[in-house]
């Protein structure tokens, strides 16, 4: 089996493979900072680290290009830490396990971290090269891009000197970006009263898994399924037609990731158990038909489970499911002058119940 170190250009994949060994979720980039620091020391390059952890490594111009303008190569150190529900992985301790699948580099059961690990690796490759003719270079590596851009926001004016900046956080090879998207988080909280589960009910765990997910900005236009929206469609119908009671719900875990999986513990009257299970199979086929050619691995199942002691009160359940049903998801508007570019979109990223504070 081919390994990353055999891919070309070797120097880029060497650094990316090394980054995969360093845990680096947002706000936990210390290992990468040390890697960059050691790299600069070994190469004899000047470096500095600011108070929030941003790193700047400077490389002098090659002979005859000293008067050229300084170019800043910018990338970010952190990654989105997301995994499949059946995968045991601690993003704060465990390395990413990359592998090659045809023409793609993927990770085993987790996000790969190419956003923006491959950008970091490319900048390091330029710094390491002795064959590229260039003016002065400043490689800027920022922290916490994925959960607030606090690294970028805390940059001081004197940290970099270059007036030309190339951002290396791109998904499209060979294209230059002329603008940048912004994001706003909206958090809605429902408080509920726990109620005893009715004695004539049976309990099931609903599992909607196998979706592709993706980045809520870069992939929102691809028509991929949102696990929270799909699960809620079934919950809303089952609550109306079978008297379903919701006990707990969990879908998605990152604000900027399209949720790949969603789960719920529910109860239904035993008298409707057969119709309930038949409805699950019907909805699974409906989802498959709707997302044919996009979500070939979609799975929606109901597994019988122990009956919980309590469930969410009826009024709050109805309000929650109505709200989730009504919330828009996906592309809202394309840019009229650039019809292939999304202007506004929204992503129902996380839905979770919390028994500790009844929300």
Q: What's the pLDDT at 233?
A: 98
Catalytic residue among 29, 115, 144, 145: 145
Q: What's the pLDDT at 166?
A: 93
Catalytic residue among 78, 138, 239, 284: 78
CB-neighbour burial class of residue 124 (10 A; exposed 0-12, middle 13-18, buried 19+): buried
Whether cis (ω within 30° of 0) applies to the bond prior to 143 is no
Residues listed for the chain: 359
| Residue 331 near residue 345 (C-beta atoms within 8 A) | yes
Q: Where are the beta strands (DSSP E) in 143-227?
A: 164-167, 194-196, 201-209
Q: Where are the beta strands (DSSP E) in 213-298?
A: 245-251, 262-269
The C-alpha atoms of residue 132 and residue 335 are separated, in whole angstroms, by 38
Nearest to residue 127, comparing CAs of 278, 28, 234, 15?
Answer: 15
Domains and CATH numbers, the chain: 4-167 (3.40.630.10), 194-352 (3.30.70.360)
| Residue 204 near residue 242 (C-beta atoms within 8 A) | no
pTM of the model: 0.69
**Cα-based angle 99, 103, 107 (whole degrees, multiple of 5):** 25
Q: Is 78 a catalytic residue?
A: yes
Q: How far is CA 347 from the centre of its chain?
A: 11
Please state the φ and ψ torsions of residue 213, each to the nearest 5 degrees.
70, -140
Q: What's the pLDDT at 171?
A: 73
Pairing of strands 164-167, 71-76: parallel
Q: What's the pLDDT at 1?
A: 65
Q: Is 145 a catalytic residue?
A: yes
Q: Which residues of 45-73 are buried (b: 16+ CB within 10 A; e: fewer)?
A: bebeebebbbbbbbbeebeeeeeeebbbb
Three-state DSSP class for 179?
Answer: coil
Beta bridge partners of 303: 205
Measured from the Cβ of residue 117, the count of other Cβ atoms closer than 10 Å reads 26
The C-alpha atoms of residue 57 and residue 44 are separated, in whole angstroms, by 10
Block means of pLDDT (10 residues each) for the chain, 359 residues, are 87 97 97 98 98 98 96 97 91 97 94 96 97 97 93 96 93 75 88 96 98 92 97 98 97 92 98 98 98 97 97 97 97 91 95 93
Q: What's the pLDDT at 182?
A: 77
Q: How many helices (H) and strands (E) does the chain have?
A: 7, 16
């Amino acid at each position: 089996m081919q390994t990353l170190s055999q891919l070309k250009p070797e120097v880029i994949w060497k650094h990316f493979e090394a980054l995969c060994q360093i845990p680096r979720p947002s706000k936990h980039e210390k290992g990468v900072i040390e890697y960059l620091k050691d790299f600069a020391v070994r190469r004899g390059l000047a470096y500095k680290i600011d108070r929030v952890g941003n790193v700047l490594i400077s490389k002098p111009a090659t002979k005859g290009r000293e008067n050229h303008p300084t170019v800043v190569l910018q990338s970010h150190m952190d990654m989105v830490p997301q995994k499949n529900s059946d995968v045991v992985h601690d993003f704060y301790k465990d390395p990413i396990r990359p592998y090659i699948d045809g023409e793609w580099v993927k990770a085993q059961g987790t996000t790969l971290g190419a956003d923006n690990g491959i950008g970091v690796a490319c900048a390091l490759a330029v710094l390491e090269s002795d064959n590229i003719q260039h003016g002065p270079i400043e490689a800027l590596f920022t922290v916490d891009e994925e959960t607030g851009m606090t690294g970028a926001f805390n940059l001081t004016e004197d940290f970099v000197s270059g007036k030309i900046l190339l951002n290396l956080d791109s998904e499209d090879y060979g294209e230059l970006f002329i603008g940048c998207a912004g994001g706003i988080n909206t958090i809605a909280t429902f408080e509920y009263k726990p109620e005893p589960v009715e004695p004539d009910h049976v309990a099931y765990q609903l599992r909607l898994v196998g979706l592709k997910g993706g980045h809520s900005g870069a992939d929102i236009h691809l028509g991929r399924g949102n696990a929270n929206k799909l699960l809620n469609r079934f919950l809303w119908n089952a609550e109306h037609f079978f008297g379903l009671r919701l006990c707990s719900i969990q879908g998605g875990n990152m604000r900027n990731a399209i949720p790949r999986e969603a789960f719920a513990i529910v109860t239904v009257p035993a008298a409707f158990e057969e119709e309930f299970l038949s409805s699950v199979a019907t909805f699974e086929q409906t989802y498959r038909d709707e997302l044919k050619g996009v979500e070939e691995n979609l799975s929606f199942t109901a597994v019988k489970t122990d009956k919980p002691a309590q469930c969410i009160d009826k009024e709050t359940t109805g309000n929650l499911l109505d709200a989730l049903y009504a919330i828009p998801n996906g592309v809202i508007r394309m840019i009229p002058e650039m019809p292939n570019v999304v202007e506004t979109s929204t992503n129902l990223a996380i839905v979770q119940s919390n028994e500790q504070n009844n929300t």
